[in-house]
Amino acid sequence: MSRSLVAGAGLVALLTACSGPTKRDAVTTTPDPAATSPARDAALAEVARLKALADADPITAPYVGPYGGVPAWDQVKTAAFPAAFTTALALFAAEVDAIAQDPAPATFANTLAALEDSGRHQGRVEALFGVMTQNMNSADVQAIDREWAPKIAAAYDKLFFNERLFARLAAVYAARDTSGLTAEQRRLVGIRYDRFVLSGAKLSPTQKLQLGAINQELAGLFTDFGNKVLADENTWIVLDKPADLAGLSDSMRAAYQAAASERKLDGTWAVVNTRSSVDPFLASSSRRDLREQVWKAFKNRGDNGGANDTNATIARIVKLRAERAALLGYPSHAHWRMADTMAKDPEQARALMLRVWPAAVARVGEEVADMQAIANKEKAKIKIEAWDYLYYGDKVRKAKYDLDQAEIKPYFELDNMVQAAFWMADQLYGLSFTEITGKVPVFHPDVRVWEVKDRASGSFVGLFYGDYFAREGKRSGAWASGYQEHETFTGVVRTPIATNNNNFVRGAAGEPVLISLDDAETLFHEFGHGLHSLLSEVNYPGLSNTPRDFVEYPSQVHEQWVLTRPVLDRFAKHYQTGKPMPQTLVDKVEASSKFNQGYGTVEYLSSAIVDMALHTDPKGVVDADRFERETLTAIGAPSTVVMRHRLPQFNHLFTSDSYSAGYYSYLWSEVMDADTREAFAEAGDVFHKPTAAKLRTYILEPGNATDRAEAYRQFRGRDPDVKALLKKRGFPIK
């Protein structure tokens, strides 16, 4: 569950149509000779003036160049972002004003379509700056982020609070069933209207002032939280003598040595305080004292007192969220945040989590007992603690299944697995990927780029950017984002530009980068997000973003192809012998596939349950450390498994509103994922063409243009069966 999701969170996500950069702009706010007014004429003049400025700025200008246009990273300078934000936000405001001031009766074309076509320059500057904050978060970038995050929040509030604009939107909404709109257009109207209401469009002027102040303060706090966690992640544990490397493979030693050299610590080895560096150490190191030291440093990110402590930031965020929910008429932040999700309300999400929780806790007890037995047999004279779980878990795996993780890693070379993901996309959906790195500008030399085409027709589909390695200034984890989504409504087909971001540890110079099975599944997971974007056939950008508890489904389901025989035979080849992974080893992996599911499930679910409990408190008065401890005690969480993301470092929750009261969505999506795997199993073919075609048609192509629950029923012929999830995780089916 280390996968993060698509960029574009918070207020920008609420205004999905304004978040998509384009190849060529076609502003639809041109004057209607029969409907002019001095105010509208002035607004249109301001649009023309500001657009000329924005079109000349490489940060905000429409994408130009090959492949339908690409971000001009070769011309982007950090110091230029403040000016770009200034122009783009002013242009966006003028575009909105021109729509609001239109004296003609409100229609879909002059209100909804015009709104869809506005904010494109602002969308581009936010997309590029989002890449900076995620991948190159220097002190200069952080300073700009601190200054501009509240200003951007205020700009979107100004949009949502615009009474003339909302009146026009409400008029189109009221007439949506009698004005000859298509089903897709009616859905867009409904989604837009609901998002305006959720964002405070119906509040009184005084309440809007209150809400605006809350949103602006939250924007600053989100930036503050992320920067503090990043600062704690930019630390490391130094291993300064060969004895500290006990249990580590040669490839791991080389990776830690490379990390030390990168930090000018020649002659030593460094375990960087990020998951991609920490987890392999915890699983392999036979030095229990160092495992404890590394584990505590990682789990205490943001919780060490001092300048980077996030507890006070969390308390303020939670309080402000509760105040905002009350202002908008909701019982809690969770009720407000879940209003446009599949689950609809916190009880539905909680019910699913608590159905799985008892079996997961029971399984942890069994797993720990097996570990303790091995520790006792080895006369280790220890009681299994959280920092022992991965290490002794591997010992149990070896004892029960004759499987050592070190046996698997040599078969998963990073470049091979990237190509494996592309081959999967070809087999399922007929896509071809041709590398064009060096032909388009990128923001860092590590970034690779591929042109994506439909293999049968040869038609251009989009671009795919991959940024695979950890480095200073890049946030931890793995995530998908994008520069541009598919759309057609202006008469110009705009094709997707999707990105994947990982934090794999680079090996020594000239050595292959070997990744774990979990890393390979993470790579396929994020690539699933990329496929969701690349295969989109959405006409309106406002229908690109699916509900939060659906969006992980297309990514999770694509993990299943990593261990399929066709993929293994072609791509899981031993980096030394060149031979594919033998079936005997695959059988061991599959036999152990339910192994440590107690650990993985409790680690994830404890985070999701704490998140939901935190955000269903109507008062929002919280001490994060105490709340975390008391909630975990109340649900009987085992001490040997700590939350995957403790509150002080829980970026999902506190760097935006995006996943707040929404971390449950991985489990909600996994119900559909597990049931979809059953569909391929029932077909008897992992690349069953008819099933893949239905998955593409109903799940991947429509975005949010159709109801997602109905879309699943169209794909599967029924609602998803939660029993498939329990079966996948190896828990009793009741």
The one-letter amino acid code at 497 reads: I
**Residue 82, helix vs strand vs coil:** helix
Residue with tokens 């030095």: 287
Beta carbons within 10 angstroms of residue 396's beta carbon: 20
Task: Please tell me which residue in 95, 521, 526, 559 is annotated as part of the active site.
Answer: 526
Spatial neighbors of 122 by CB under 8 A, at least 6 apart, are 18, 60, 88, 89, 91, 92, 155
Q: What is the DSSP letter of 444?
A: S
Q: What is the DSSP letter of 448?
A: E
Q: Retrieve residue 259's tokens.
A: 């990390």
Q: Which of 126, 96, 101 is nearest to 20 (CA)?
A: 126
Q: Retrieve residue 597's tokens.
A: 């599911």
Beta carbons within 10 angstroms of residue 183's beta carbon: 9
Spatial neighbors of 146 by CB under 8 A, at least 6 apart, are 220, 223, 224, 227
Q: Are 549 and 669 a contacting pair, CB within 8 Å?
A: yes
Q: Are 78 and 138 a contacting pair, CB within 8 Å?
A: yes
Q: Are 391 and 284 a contacting pair, CB within 8 Å?
A: yes
CA distance 513 to 413: 6
List of E strands, 206-303: 236-239, 269-272
Burial classification of residue 401, based on how many CB atoms lie within 10 Å of its CB (0-12 exposed, 13-18 middle, 19 or more buried): middle
CA distance 600 to 728: 13
Beta carbons within 10 angstroms of residue 243's beta carbon: 9
Q: What is the DSSP letter of 506?
A: P
Spatial neighbors of 336 by CB under 8 A, at least 6 apart, are 198, 324, 325, 328, 330
CA distance 450 to 440: 10
**Residue 603, helix vs strand vs coil:** helix
Instruction: Count each helix (H run) and each strand (E run) in the chain, helices first.
Output: 30, 7
Helix (H) or strand (E) holding 719: none
CA distance 425 to 450: 13
Q: Which of 229, 239, 302, 234 is nearest to 272 (CA)?
A: 234
Q: Are 681 and 564 a contacting pair, CB within 8 Å?
A: no
Q: Retrieve residue 577's tokens.
A: 């012998």
Is residue 526 flagged as an active site residue?
yes
Q: Which of 521, 514, 481 is nearest to 498 (CA)?
A: 481
Q: How many CA atoms lie within 13 A of 168 on its CB side?
A: 26
Q: Are 245 and 254 a contacting pair, CB within 8 Å?
A: no
Q: Are strands 460-469 and 448-454 parallel, antiparallel or unpaired?
A: antiparallel
Output the CA angle 292-359-386, nearest 5 degrees: 5
Q: Retrieve residue 14's tokens.
A: 């609420």
Catalytic residues: 526
